[in-house]
Structure 1
Amino acid sequence: MRTSHRQIRKRILDAKSKITDEEFFSSRAYNGYLTDLAEAATKRYKRPLRVRVVADHDDETVAFTDYHGIYINACNHITWSFPSRLLRSMSLEGLNAHECGHNLFTDERVWHSYFAGLAKGKFYPKMPDGLDSMQKLYAKDILEALTDDTDTVPMQVIMSTAHALSNILEDGYVDARYSYEFPGSPAKGIALNNLRYADTMPEITEMINRKYYDHSIVVNLLIQYVRAHEVNNLSGYTGEFIDKLYEYIPWIDESVYDDDARSRCEAANRILVDLWPMMQRCFDALRDKQKQAQQQAQQSSQQTAKGGSVSGSGQPGSGDDDNDGSQQGQQAVEEDLSSQLPKAAANFTIKTKPVPSNGTFTPNPGQMNAIRAQVERVIAEETSRIAAHLTNGITSSGNGGVDQNNEYEGNDYEHAADDIERLLSSMAEEKVTEELEEELSEELQREANAIRYGNAHRNIHVTVSRMAHVDQNLIDSYNRVAPELLMLSKRLQRSVSSALRDRRQGGKQTGLLIGKRLNQHALYRNDGRIFYNSRLPTEPINLSVGLLIDESGSMCSNDRITRARATAIVIQDFCESLGIPLLVVGHTAWSSHVELFSYSDFDTYDKNNRYRLMDMSARDCNRDGAALRFVAEKLSKQTSEVKILMIICDGQPNDDGYSGSAAEADLRGIKLEYARKGVKIYAAAIGEDRPRIERIYGDGYLDITNLQELPVMLTNLIVRSLPH
C-alpha cells in the first residue's frame, strides 16, 4: 500500500478540522501536555504527577488528586461554561495547576489533626485568641455540641461549616502560592477559573429569597471573596451578611498568605465561633428534615417486613430499623447543608510534608490584580454571541482621536494558542496514522490471502494482526529495557557503516597468493602472499532485512523469547538508524490456524514499531513453513539488491499434521525456493537448539545466546551477503 505525503497531509488537515473539544481534551496528546506541565512543577520536588483528562458530560466531578495522580473532567461546569477552545484549555491548565498546588503546598497532617481534634471536642491547634466573654460561651457550646450523641444536627452543621472553611482557606493559599511560584499561564488559568467560579455563585438577595441558611450565605460570600476578591451584590444589599464578610476579611487575608497551615486552622476556628449564633438558626429546620427522613425510613422498613417473612433483627421496631432511620436522618441533613454550598473536591489525602517556602512568599496584589484584569478582558471578548435586538441608532461618547501605543507587547495568550494548534496537529496526525495503520493491516491480510502456501499448508487459515494503536504500557516497557540494547545497535551501526564505506571508497586488497600485481613491500614474506589487487569503488548497497520470530509456547523456556525480543530491538534500531527497510513478523499457530503478528512493515506510517516489539510473547504452536513463506514472499518483492531474512526459532515446527521430518523438509524446500529469488535466509537460535537449526537450515546459522556478540555476528553476516 502506497500513499503519497501530499495525500497524508490532506487527510491530516481534514481530520484536524473535525476534532471536537471532547476528543481533543481527552486525547493522549493533551493528557501528555498537561502531564508535562505538572511534572515541570513537581519533579523538582521529587513528586512527579501524571494527569488523566476525561470528557464526560454526565460526571459532575471537576478535578481531584489521589494516589494515581490528577484527575480532571474536561466537561465540568466551570470549564465548559467558556465559549472557546482556548479558554477551555486555559481553564484546564488552571485546574491542573490548582491540583499541583495541593500536592506541593497543602499540609495534610495539620488538617488531619484539625478535624481529629474537632471530632474529640477540641480546637486545634488551640482555643482561638481574642474572644470576648460571649464568644467564649459560643466556643464552649460548640465543643459540647461536637460530642453530643443525643442530637447530631449541631455537630453536622459545625463539621459541614468547618470543612467548607478549610477548603476555602486552603484553596486560597494554594492558588496564591502556586501563582507566586509559577507565574504565567498557570496563574492565568487559576485566575480564570476563580473568576468564573465566583460568577456561578448566587447573588446575596437571591440566596435570601431562596431561603439559604444564614451561615451558608456568609460562607458563600467568603468563597467569592477568596476566589475573586469581590462579591456578587448587584442588588446593593447592606446588612449583617456583608458586615460579617468585612469582619472576617483581615483574618482571611492574613491566613491565606501564611505558609503555616495552622494559621488557617486558627482562622477557621475564629469564624466558626463567631458564626455560631447564625448556625443555631437552622437547627430546628434541620431537625424537622431529619425526623421526616427517619419516619420515611421506618415506614419503608415496615412495609418491606410486611411484604415478606419477618424474623430476627428484621422485625419492625428492632435496633436495625432504628439504625437505618438514624442514618437516613443524618444523610438528609448532610444533603440539605451541601445543597447550599458549591461542591468542592477533597484535598489530597496523603499525609505529606508541604514544600517549604523559604520565607520568600509574600503577597503581590499588583501582580495578581494585573493578571485578573487581563483575564477579565479575555473573558469579556470571548463570550457567546449577542442576541439580536432592536436599536434606534448608533451613538458614541468620548473626545475622539487616534493614538499609537508603541509599548504594547501583547497579552501573552499567543503561546497558549500555539500550544493548542500544535497539539491539534499532533492529534490529527496520530488519528490519520492510526487509520493508515488499519488500512495497512487490511492490506497485509489481502497479501496473506493471495499467497500460495503449497500442499503442506493446504486448507490452513492465516490471520495477520497489527496494532494500529500502541498502548502507553508498551512504550514504558520499551523505555525500561532498551537503553543497554541500543548500545549494541550503535556498535553494529559503526561496524557495518565502516564495512560499507570501505566498499564504496575502494582501495587495495593485499596479502594474496595470486593476483595481477606484485607487492614489492611484501617480497620478504615466505608464505607466498606477495600479490595485491585494486578494488574499484562501488555504489552504495541497497539492502532490505526481514526478521521472523517463532512465538510458540516452547520459546518461553530458557529465556528464548526474551532473547528473541532483545535481538529484534537491536535489529530494529539498527535498520531504522541506517534507513534500511525492515520487516518484523512473529508467528504462532493452533489447529491449522496460523496467526502472524506484524511488528514492523516496509510500508509502515507511524514511528511506534519499536514499541510494538514489546508485545512479542510465547503463545501456542508454530507452523513455521506458512509464516516463512509469507515473510519470504514479501521480501522477495522488494527492489533491494540484497535481501536478508533472519529467523529466530527453536527448530521445532509443531502444529496439527505439521511436525517432524516432513515439516523440516518443507522448510528446506522453502529456503531453496526463495534463495533462487535472491532471498538469503539465516536462522538464529539459543544454545542447545543449534543441532536442530543446522539440520533444517544448513550453514545459515547464528547463535544469539550471548547478545554481546550480536554486533560482530550480524556485521559478518551482512558483509558476507553483499555482492562480490
Structure 2
Amino acid sequence: MSKIDDKEFFTSRAYRGYLADITESATKRYHRPIRVNLFADETDQTVAYTDYSGIYINVCNLITQSMPSRELKSVSLEGLDGHELGHNLYTDGRIWEAYEHDLAKGRFYPSMPSGLDGTQKLYASEILAAVQDESDPVPRSVILKTVAALQNILEDGYVDARTSFEFPGRLARGIALNNLRYSELVPDITEMVNRKFYDHSIVLNLLIEYVRAGEVNNLSGYTGEFMDLLLEFIPAVDACIRDDDTRSRCETVSRILIGLWPVMQRCFDDLRDKQKSAQQQAQAGAGQTNKSGNSQQNGTGSQPSQSETGEDGDAGIQAVEEALQGQLPKAAENRNDRMVPVPCNGSFLPDKEKDQELKQQLSRAIAEETARIAAHVTSGIESEGDGGITMDRQYQGSDYDFAAEEIRRLLENMAEAQVYASMEEELSEDLQREADSISYGNAHKNIHVTVHRMAQVDQSLINAYNEVSPQLLMLSKRLQRSVSAALRDKRQGGKQTGLLVGKRLNQHALYRNDGRVFCNARLPTEPINLAVALLVDESGSMCGNDRITRARATAIVVQDFCEKLGIPVMIMGHTASSSHVELFSYAEFGSVDRKDRYRLMDMSPRYCNRDGAALRFVAEKLCKYPAEVKMLFIISDGQPNDDGYSGSAAEADLRGIKLEYSRRGVEIFAAAIGSDREQIERIYGAGYLDITDLNQLPIMLTQLITRNLPK
C-alpha cells in the first residue's frame, strides 16, 4: 500500500469505479448515464471539462494537488466530478450559442437589457459597433474574451449552486472544498494592481472569486473603483445564478459588459502596441526566411513573405489573445448543445447557515491536515488572554470523516490487486519454465510451446461469467453433495450391510430371503488427497455442435465443484499452428487472486490442435503434484490435427501418453460430445464421459470419482 502514489491511485480502475458509482447515483434519476474519465498530466493546465462523450478530470490539476492529504484530494476530485456533472445536466448550451451568434450580428440576446440610462445605451451601441468593426480587431477581441469569461463565471456559479442543492452530500462538499481552495489561490487586489493586470481583468477575477467562494481576497483593505464595480454587479449576479432560466444569465452578461465598457477601453492602446510588436517580429522573421531562401535558389525565384500571406496579422491577434488570457484562469468549454437541460422543480435558494457551517468544517479540515499558513497582512504580534493550559476530555472529534474510509478500502483493494497481478505474472513465468523443461518425445520434436495466462481479469469476463453461471452452479452443488457424502463415508468408516457375499454374517439379517445376510466392517481412513486437471481442446473444429460451449460449461462446473470442496484443480486449453503449441492457463494449483472462474470465459475455438504435447504438459504437472489420487479429464472432438501430426499416428501417440501416465498414477478420462464418442473411445478406450447432456454430469463425475478413490 505504501508504494502506491496519488497519481497511480487516482487513475486506477478501482478509483474510477468509485467515482463512476457516485456519478451514477446522481444521474440515474434523470436516466442520463455519463462516463467519467480520469487522466494524469502534470504539464496540462486543464482541471476538468465535459463534452459529448463524458466528463474528463486531470487528477494532477492545481486545485487537487494543493490538497494536503489523499482524503482531501479525493473530496476535491468528487467536487470536480459534481461540477462537470452539473454542466451535463443543467447547462443549456443552445442558449449560450444563440447569445454568441446574436452578438456577432450586432445585437444582444435575448434583447437589449431594460432600464438602461442614456450613457449605458451609448455604451451598448459602442460595444455592438466594435464587435462588427473588422478594421480594428483589438476591441472585438477584448469584448469576446470578456463575454466568454462572464459566461463561464455565471454558468459555473449556477451549476455549483444547483448541483449542491440537488446533491447536498459528497458532491456539495467537494464543490465547496474546491471553491474554498480556489479563493486562497486568487491574488489580492493590490497584488493584481502591482502586476499591472488590465482593469477589467481585475474586476473579472473578483467576480470569479465572489461567485465561487462568496467573498474576495482583499487582505490589503483596498477600497476603490474595482470594489465599487463589484458591489454594483453583485445583486444581478446573485439573482441570475439562482435562476433556472439561462436567459437571465445572458442578460446579466450584457449588463456587466456594458458596465465594464469604460474600464475595458483602457487596455486597447497597450494591446495595440503588443499587436504591432508581434506583427513586426513576424515580418522580420519572414524577411530572414525569404533572404535565406533566395540565396539558396541563386536568384531563380523568391518565396512570398508572411506579410503577403497575412500570417503577421495572425501573430498580432494571437499576441492580443495571449495577453488577455494570461490574466484570467484558464476556463474549459463546458457545453453540451445536444442535450436539453434538466428543469428545476422549484426554487433552490441557498441555505446560508448550512453553507457557512460547511465552509467552516472544510477550512478546519484543511488547517488540521497541512502546515501551510495562508497569506495575510500583519503589523505586529499580539497575544490576548489569561494564559494557561486546559485539558478537554469531552472532545469527541471535529466530525471530519469525508471519504477516508472509502479511500482506505480502495487503497487496500488496489494494493491487493497489484500484489496478485505480480504473483500471477510470476506464476506465468513458472508455467513457461515448466513447459520449456518437459521432454515431449519424438512425436513433438522441435515444437515450440507458449503458455498464456491473464495476470489481470477484465471486467467484461466477470460480467459474462455472472450472466451464464447461475444454472451451472446448481449442477456444481449437486455434484458437491454427492461427492462430499462419498468422501465423508470414506473418512468416517462404518459397517456395510446387505451384502450377497462376505466373511461375516449379519445376525440381524438372517430372516431375509434374498441372501443379503453378509456384512463388512470399514475402518476410518485419512482424508482423501485428491487433485483434478481438465484439458480442453480449443481447435477451430470445436465451434461446431456447440462443443466449445459445452466444454466451457463443464469447466465452470468442475472449477466451482473443486473450489468449494477444497480440491486442487488445474484447467487448461490448447491450440496449435505450424508446430507451435499454445496453452491457455485458466485455473492453476498455485493461483492466488481467486479469479480463475472468470478466466474460463476466455475459452474459445482457435486454430489446430496438437493434443499429445498439451496432454503431456498437463499430465506431467499433475504427476508432480503431491496428491494421492490424480484425475485428468480431457474434452476434445477426437481429431488431433497439426502440421505432421494427425491420423492414426497421432492417435497412437495419445494412447501411449495415456498408458505412460496411468502407470505413474495419473488416471486419464476423456469426455465426448454427441457423435464424437466413437473417435474418443477409439483413442482413449473406456472411461469416457458423454457431456452432451450437462444435467447428467454430476452423476457421471460422482460415479467416476468414487470408483477411483483408494479402497
* Short-chain TM bin: 0.7 to 0.9
Q: For the structure 1 residues 535 and 109, does the alpha-carbon distance in structure 2 shift closer, same or farther, using more than 3 Å as the test?
A: farther
Aligned twin of 1:142: 127
Q: Contact (CA 8 Å) 1:64, 1:345: kept in 2 or not?
A: yes
Q: For the structure 1 residues 522 and 360, does the alpha-carbon distance in structure 2 shift closer, same or farther, using more than 3 Å as the test?
A: farther
What is the total number of aligned residue pairs between the two structures?
Answer: 691
Q: Give runs of aligned pairs for residues 428-439 of structure 1, distance below 5 A.
A: 428-439=415-426
Q: Which amino acid aligns with 1:648?
A: I
CA distance in 2, matches of 1:440, 1:712: 35
- Give the C-alpha shift of residue 386 in structure 1: 7.8
Q: How big is each residue's C-alpha offset from its partner over 1:602-656, in whole Å with a ceiling of 9 and x where there is no partner?
A: 1111022233334444444432212111112222344555543232334332334
Q: Give runs of aligned pairs for residues 466-615 of structure 1, distance below 5 A.
A: 466-470=453-457, 474-480=458-464, 482-498=466-482, 500-501=484-485, 504=488, 543-555=530-542, 560-561=547-548, 563-615=550-602
Q: Contact (CA 8 Å) 1:60, 1:76: kept in 2 or not?
A: yes
CA distance in 2, matches of 1:103, 1:538: 70
Q: Does 1:316 align with 2:327?
A: no
Aligned twin of 1:60: 45
Q: Contact (CA 8 Å) 1:594, 1:626: kept in 2 or not?
A: yes
Aligned twin of 1:454: 441
Aligned twin of 2:150: 165
CA distance in 1, matches of 2:53, 2:191: 40
Q: Which runs of 5+ in 1 are unaligned?
A: 1-15, 388-393
CA distance in 2, matches of 1:522, 1:62: 89
Q: Contact (CA 8 Å) 2:479, 2:702: kept in 1 or not?
A: no
- Give the C-alpha shift of residue 203 in structure 1: 1.6
CA distance in 2, matches of 1:510, 1:149: 109
Q: For the structure 1 residues 699 and 191, does the alpha-carbon distance in structure 2 shift closer, same or farther, using more than 3 Å as the test?
A: same
The farther-off stretch of 272-281 and 646-655 is 646-655
- Give the C-alpha shift of residue 267 in structure 1: 1.5
Q: Give runs of aligned pairs for residues 284-683 of structure 1, distance below 5 A.
A: 284-301=269-286, 303-305=288-290, 307-308=292-293, 316=304, 321-322=309-310, 324-349=311-336, 351-384=338-371, 397-399=384-386, 410-470=397-457, 474-480=458-464, 482-498=466-482, 500-501=484-485, 504=488, 543-555=530-542, 560-561=547-548, 563-640=550-627, 642-683=629-670
Q: Which amino acid aligns with 1:581?
A: P
1:98 match: secondary structure: helix
- Give the C-alpha shift of residue 590 in structure 1: 3.9
Q: For the structure 1 residues 277 and 509, does the alpha-carbon distance in structure 2 shift closer, same or farther, using more than 3 Å as the test?
A: farther
Aligned twin of 1:4: none
- Give the C-alpha shift of residue 133 in structure 1: 1.9
Q: Contact (CA 8 Å) 1:301, 1:321: kept in 2 or not?
A: no
Q: Give runs of aligned pairs for residues 52-131 of structure 1, distance below 5 A.
A: 52-131=37-116
Q: Does 1:183 align with 2:165?
A: no
Q: Contact (CA 8 Å) 1:34, 1:93: kept in 2 or not?
A: yes
Q: For the structure 1 residues 246 and 484, does the alpha-carbon distance in structure 2 shift closer, same or farther, using more than 3 Å as the test?
A: same
Q: Which amino acid aligns with 1:483?
A: E
Q: How big is each residue's C-alpha offset from its partner over 1:260-309, in whole Å with a ceiling of 9 and x where there is no partner?
A: 22222222221112112222222233233333334444444454455448
Q: For the structure 1 residues 481 and 502, does the alpha-carbon distance in structure 2 shift closer, same or farther, using more than 3 Å as the test?
A: closer
CA distance in 1, matches of 2:326, 2:486: 80
Q: Does 1:713 align with 2:700?
A: no
Q: Contact (CA 8 Å) 1:464, 1:596: kept in 2 or not?
A: yes
Q: Does 1:20 align with 2:5?
A: yes
- Give the C-alpha shift of residue 495 in structure 1: 4.6
CA distance in 1, matches of 2:272, 2:70: 47
Q: Does 1:151 align with 2:151?
A: no
1:145 match: secondary structure: helix
2:403 match: secondary structure: helix
Q: Which amino acid aligns with 2:106?
A: G
Q: Contact (CA 8 Å) 2:447, 2:579: kept in 1 or not?
A: yes
1:282 match: secondary structure: helix
Q: For the structure 1 residues 614 and 495, does the alpha-carbon distance in structure 2 shift closer, same or farther, using more than 3 Å as the test?
A: closer
CA distance in 1, matches of 2:658, 2:569: 19
Q: For the structure 1 residues 547 and 373, does the alpha-carbon distance in structure 2 shift closer, same or farther, using more than 3 Å as the test?
A: same
Q: How big is each residue's C-alpha offset from its partner over 1:458-516, in whole Å with a ceiling of 9 and x where there is no partner?
A: 3433332322233xxx3224414642333222233235424643774699999999898
CA distance in 2, matches of 1:532, 1:270: 108
The farther-off stretch of 632-641 and 435-444 is 632-641
Please tell me the root mean square deviation across aligned C-alpha atoms, in Å.
3.7
CA distance in 2, matches of 1:404, 1:354: 54
- Give the C-alpha shift of residue 407 in structure 1: 8.3
1:353 match: secondary structure: coil
Q: For the structure 1 residues 307 and 627, does the alpha-carbon distance in structure 2 shift closer, same or farther, using more than 3 Å as the test?
A: same
2:62 match: secondary structure: coil
CA distance in 1, matches of 2:189, 2:382: 34
Q: For the structure 1 residues 567 and 58, does the alpha-carbon distance in structure 2 shift closer, same or farther, using more than 3 Å as the test?
A: farther
| Identity in percent | 61
- Give the C-alpha shift of residue 193 in structure 1: 1.3
Q: Which amino acid aligns with 1:652?
A: Q
Q: Contact (CA 8 Å) 2:655, 2:683: kept in 1 or not?
A: yes
- Give the C-alpha shift of residue 661 in structure 1: 1.7
Q: Which amino acid aligns with 1:345?
A: A
Q: For the structure 1 residues 483 and 640, does the alpha-carbon distance in structure 2 shift closer, same or farther, using more than 3 Å as the test?
A: farther
TM-score (norm 1): 0.85
CA distance in 1, matches of 2:78, 2:15: 11
Q: How big is each residue's C-alpha offset from its partner over 1:407-437, in whole Å with a ceiling of 9 and x where there is no partner?
A: 8654332352222222222222222212221
1:664 match: secondary structure: helix
CA distance in 1, matches of 2:255, 2:53: 36
Q: Does 1:722 align with 2:710?
A: no
Q: For the structure 1 residues 636 and 122, does the alpha-carbon distance in structure 2 shift closer, same or farther, using more than 3 Å as the test?
A: farther
- Give the C-alpha shift of residue 591 in structure 1: 4.4
2:4 match: secondary structure: coil
Q: Contact (CA 8 Å) 2:574, 2:582: kept in 1 or not?
A: yes
- Give the C-alpha shift of residue 440 in structure 1: 1.7
CA distance in 1, matches of 2:162, 2:548: 52
- Give the C-alpha shift of residue 244 in structure 1: 0.6
CA distance in 1, matches of 2:292, 2:540: 59
Q: For the structure 1 residues 314 and 511, does the alpha-carbon distance in structure 2 shift closer, same or farther, using more than 3 Å as the test?
A: farther
CA distance in 2, matches of 1:449, 1:529: 60
Q: Which amino acid aligns with 2:14?
A: A
Aligned twin of 1:8: none
Aligned twin of 1:42: 27
1:651 match: secondary structure: coil
CA distance in 2, matches of 1:30, 1:171: 26
CA distance in 1, matches of 2:337, 2:558: 45
Q: Contact (CA 8 Å) 1:503, 1:538: kept in 2 or not?
A: no
